[in-house]
Amino acid sequence: MYSSTNPPSLESNTRSAPEFRQDPVTGQWVVIAVDRAQRPQASIDAVADSNGDPNCPFCRGQEHETPPAVAVYPGDCPQGLPHDWQLRVVPNLYPALSRHGDPITAGETRESPILAHGWHEVVIESPDHLQRLTELPPDQVALVLQAYQDRFRVYAEDPMMRCAIAFKNCGRDAGMSLEHIHSQLVAFPFIPSVLAAELAGAEAFQARSGGCVYCHLAENEIRQQVRLVQQTDHFLAICPYASRVPFEIWVLPRDHQARFERLAANLRHELAHLLWDVLRRLEESLAHPAYNYVVHTCPFDTRSEDHYHWHFEIIPRIAHLAGLEWGTGVYVNIVSPEAAAHALRSA
Ligand SMILES: [Zn+2]
Ligand SMILES: [Zn+2]
Ligand SMILES: [Zn+2]
């Protein structure tokens, strides 16, 4: 548990003035302003244990409450009973995007609205009424990752789509609207600005230094060990140098891989165990905080494959964004990533 009575040793020794830091990929500025009077409280919206919900549309036996599944991963019952499933992917009943629309030409600026066209699907991660990824066995987490990969491949075949993301909203403060464990997938006909900034930064780094900025960053973090949370043979988890919020975590492959959907099955299991372990450490450090995670993978065209590198970003929602963040995009973070990584390693 991370609290004022148990400060990470790094910070207790090196109290310092606010510091500007710049994200090495996007160039985004943050302020690391460690103020001992403003230690993060345990989550403002801790994810509480559920009492279950007899009307939950995502529970086993309620399959008729969702639109028909676009993908079902069956359980191990040899008869294949109708309710015997391990994971289902269904279209979002209240989609942010419509399945039909006009094409958008790259580089074009639209002055009048057009139909928001794309894919918006829900991954129901278990037939049981659970809330947290850490309540699943790591093998089931691997199946969740496989479902992301399978759907990304389907979206890539849609000639109108340019990229896709997977994300999870865990806890009401992270935007969760239904507590049964699930995540969401969205495919877009354009490149959203956050991804565009990463792609531009990665391309500029390659032009300047001739390599992949994420590979470079992974190598540095493993060498320095200061912001490293955990590592396996093929992956690492770090608190990024220019963390926007307390306890921000990135998980990425150590070797260059542009596309999450190309990750091999044996590595998917290794990643699932690491992700599970990192989320457990986060939950223990901050008393089950609300959080979002997002999977960023290369757009469907091949032009960024040599300099873009897929990754997970885990964003705990323990700080409210205020005027400065909304007005400038400059985040003020009151916990240094070095201290956060130290706390997570000890959890
Ligand atoms: Zn449920
Ligand atoms: Zn790379
Ligand atoms: Zn990213």
Q: Are 24 and 217 in contact (CB under 8 A)?
A: yes
- Asked whether residue 234 carries a pLDDT value surpassing 70, the answer given is yes
Phi–psi pair at 268, nearest 5 degrees: -60, -40
The rounded Å distance from CA 253 to ligand 3 centre is 13
**β-bridge pairing 331-333 and 29-32:** parallel
- If you measure from the C-alpha of residue 64 to the centroid of ligand 3, how many angstroms do you get, rounded to a whole number? 36
- Long-range CB contacts (< 8 A, 24+ apart) of 272-276? 272/138, 272/139, 272/141, 272/142, 272/144, 272/145, 273/138, 273/141, 273/232, 274/230, 274/232, 274/235, 274/237, 275/133, 275/141, 275/145, 275/251, 275/312, 276/133, 276/134, 276/136, 276/138, 276/141
The mean pLDDT of the chain is 89
Q: Identify the pLDDT of residue 135.
A: 95
Cα 128 to its chain centre, rounded Å, is: 22
* Higher pLDDT pick, 51 / 225: 225
pLDDT score of 8 more than 50: no
Residues 186, 259: Cα–Cα separation, whole Å: 16
Q: What is the pLDDT of residue 80?
A: 61
Q: How far apart are CA 239 and CA 313, in angstroms?
A: 10
Distance from residue 115's CA to the centre of ligand 2 (Å): 35
The model's confidence at residue 45, banded by pLDDT at 50, 70 and 90, is low
Q: What contacts 341, CB < 8 A, 6 or more positions away? A: 226, 227, 228, 229, 238, 239
User: What is the mean predicted confidence (pLDDT) over 293-322?
Assistant: 94
Instruction: Say whether 311 is catalytic.
Output: no
Q: Is 315 helix (H, G, I), strand (E, B) or coil?
A: strand
- pLDDT per residue as tens digits for the range 128-144: 999 999 999 999 999 99
Task: Give the three-class secondary structure for 137.
Answer: coil
Contact 197, 312 (CB under 8 A): no
Q: What is the DSSP letter of 40?
A: P
Distance 62 CA to ligand 3 centre (A): 35
More confident residue, 89 or 114: 89
What's residue 116's pLDDT?
A: 77
- Ligand nearest the Cα of residue 179 is 1
Mean pLDDT of 23-27: 94
Q: How far apart are CA 208 and CA 88, in angstroms?
A: 44
Threshold 0.85, pTM exceeds:
yes
What average pLDDT score do residues 213-233 get? Answer: 97
Give the ligand whose atoms come closest to the C-alpha of residue 309: 2
Query: From the CA of 178, how far away is ligand 2's center (Å)?
Result: 36
Query: Are 22 and 28 within 8 A, CB to CB?
Result: yes
Residue entry with tokens 């997970």: 312
* Residue-wise pLDDT tens digits, 241-284: 999 999 999 999 999 999 999 999 999 999 999 999 999 999 99
E strand or H helix at 340: helix 337-346
The ligand placed nearest to the CA atom of residue 195 is: 3
Which of 145, 132, 340 is CA-nearest to residue 235? 145
List CB contacts of 93: < 8 A, sequence separation 6 or more: 66, 67
Q: How far, in Å, from the CA of 121 to the mean position of ligand 2?
A: 28
Is the pLDDT reported for residue 204 higher than 50? yes
Name the closest ligand to CA 178: 1
| Active-site residue (options: 117, 182, 311, 342) | 182
Going by pLDDT thresholds of 50, 70 and 90, the confidence category of residue 47 is: low
3-state helix, strand, coil in the chain (%, to 5): 30, 20, 50
How high is the pLDDT of residue 84? 85
Quote the pLDDT of residue 291: 96
The predicted-structure confidence for 147-197, as pLDDT tens digits, reads as follows 999 999 999 999 999 999 999 999 988 888 889 999 999 999 999 999 999
